[in-house]
Amino acid sequence: MIVLYNIISLLLTGLYLLVIIYLIRGWTALKRSDTTGATFNTRVTILIAARDEEERIRYTIDDIIAQDYPRHLTEVIIVDDHSTDSTADIIRSYANQGIKLMQLTEDKPLNSYKKKAIAEAIALSSGELMVATDADCRMGKSWLSCIVGYYEAHQPVMISSPVTYFEERSLFERLQTLEFSYLIGIGAAFIGNGRASTCNGANLAYRKDVFYEVGGFKGIDDLASGDDELLLQKVAVNYPNRIGFLKNPDAVVYTHAKHTLQEFLQQRRRWASKSTRYKDKKVVALAVGIWLFNLSLLVNGLLSFYRLYFFELFLLQFLLKYLFEVAFLLPITTFFKRANLVSLLVILSPIHIIYFVYVGFMGNTRKYTWKGRTVR
């Protein structure tokens, strides 16, 4: 029995290392997109769904107004999702600068208010290209022109662009930035390998006609989350080779890590809840395999107190995991100009094993709180 268990542990380790090699290959395959000199003629609609964002939404709007993309080709629609603070008033104060406010007035309970908000904004939009971001994000002045320049040069139907955390105030938040870089890197690498699977809705663009062609959020609107990668997976069915990742520093969107452990776990459980709706069974099987690898690490770590052999097995698994993850994360954090964060991997790795197992299980079995609502 122990021999069989050892073989399974080593096979799971080999699987994980092959996945990391695959991801390194995908990230390397993505070339930096040069969008300088583009002649812009695409009508763009920027979409934001906001709920109780009075602290930060003003900064986001100011960054959008400061974009160097032609103003006559830019439309901005912000949907207020039943905010209980002054979010709507702040948005309304920018009306004379072209910011359009929509207020969600849904009177019956929904499990996907954000998707409803985005869908209603798209229905009223005049743009050809929808560019979605969040109400607490920051971006440089060339963010939009970079996205549209890539769109006009390569004609993708959907563009996933980079997102990172900034302005961290603690070690806990810097660890989140490193872990988040890993997640963004996974999504980028899968696209680089021609198999789009994940993305982040804080920096996602897609053609309006393609949104309607795939049925919008129909079929995924019973989940609170998934306005990003579940939509991407629907698009990938029809257009497997026309989804791009914009590997350009000018396209980066910045947001903030969670301040508390409870907020962090709620967010990750929300993200994990989407995995039950993945249509690509190979990706689901791969995710399960990675979860089992982390579970085997956890089990071997615990069994180390019982027998030295399990500690040696754990040490081998952990060392290989660490070295391969350094090789994957270093070019990604370098892209974000945060290569120094890789030094924190020695702290993050053991914590990540425990939390990954926990979130993978709890994200699919329990409800969670998001924006003051209990959802599933």
Sheet-wide strand order for 253-255: 138-139, 253-255, 163-165
Q: Which of 67, 174, 158, 52 is nearest to 114 (CA)?
A: 52
Query: Is the same domain home to 317 and 352?
Result: yes
Q: Determine what percent of the chain is predicted with pLDDT higher than 70.
A: 93
* Euclidean distance between CA atoms 38 and 343, whole angstroms: 38
Q: Does any domain span residue 368?
A: yes
In the predicted model, is pLDDT for residue 109 greater than 70? no
- What pLDDT does 180 receive? 97
Query: Is the same domain home to 43 and 20?
Result: no
Query: Is the same domain home to 335 and 200?
Result: no
Radius of gyration in angstroms for the set of CA atoms belonging to the chain, rounded to a whole number = 21
- What pLDDT does 367 receive? 62
Query: Is the same domain home to 21 and 45?
Result: no
Confidence of residue 148 (pLDDT cuts 50, 70, 90): very high
Comparing 213 with 368, the larger pLDDT belongs to 213
- What pLDDT does 368 receive? 54
Place of tokens 């806990």: 172
- What pLDDT does 376 receive? 55
Place of tokens 């009177």: 107
In the predicted model, is pLDDT for residue 225 greater than 90? no
Average pLDDT for 188-201: 95
CATH code where residue 51 lies: 3.90.550.10
Comparing 34 with 21, the larger pLDDT belongs to 21
Query: Is the same domain home to 87 and 8?
Result: no
Q: Determine what percent of the chain is predicted with pLDDT higher than 90.
A: 74
Query: Is the same domain home to 202 and 344?
Result: no
Query: Is the same domain home to 160 and 224?
Result: yes
Count of structural domains, the chain:
2
Domain that holds residue 304: 2-26+280-375
Average pLDDT for 128-150: 97
- What pLDDT does 6 receive? 84
Comparing 169 with 305, the larger pLDDT belongs to 169
In the predicted model, is pLDDT for residue 347 greater than 90? yes
- What pLDDT does 55 receive? 94
- What pLDDT does 293 receive? 95
- What pLDDT does 223 receive? 77
Q: What's the chain's average pLDDT?
A: 91
pLDDT in tens, 267-300: 887 777 776 667 777 888 888 899 999 999 999 9
In the predicted model, is pLDDT for residue 373 greater than 60? no
Average pLDDT for 340-358: 93
Query: Is the same domain home to 315 and 368?
Result: yes
In the predicted model, is pLDDT for residue 31 greater than 60? yes
Which stretches within the chain are classed as H helix? 2-29, 57-65, 87-92, 113-124, 143-154, 171-192, 208-213, 229-238, 261-273, 281-303, 308-335, 345-362
Average pLDDT for 45-58: 96
348 neighbors 325 (Cβ within 8 angstroms)? no
Q: Does any domain span residue 202?
A: yes
Confidence of residue 221 (pLDDT cuts 50, 70, 90): confident
In the predicted model, is pLDDT for residue 365 greater than 60? no
- What pLDDT does 34 receive? 73
In the predicted model, is pLDDT for residue 110 greater than 70? no
Query: Is the same domain home to 252 and 342?
Result: no
162 neighbors 335 (Cβ within 8 angstroms)? yes
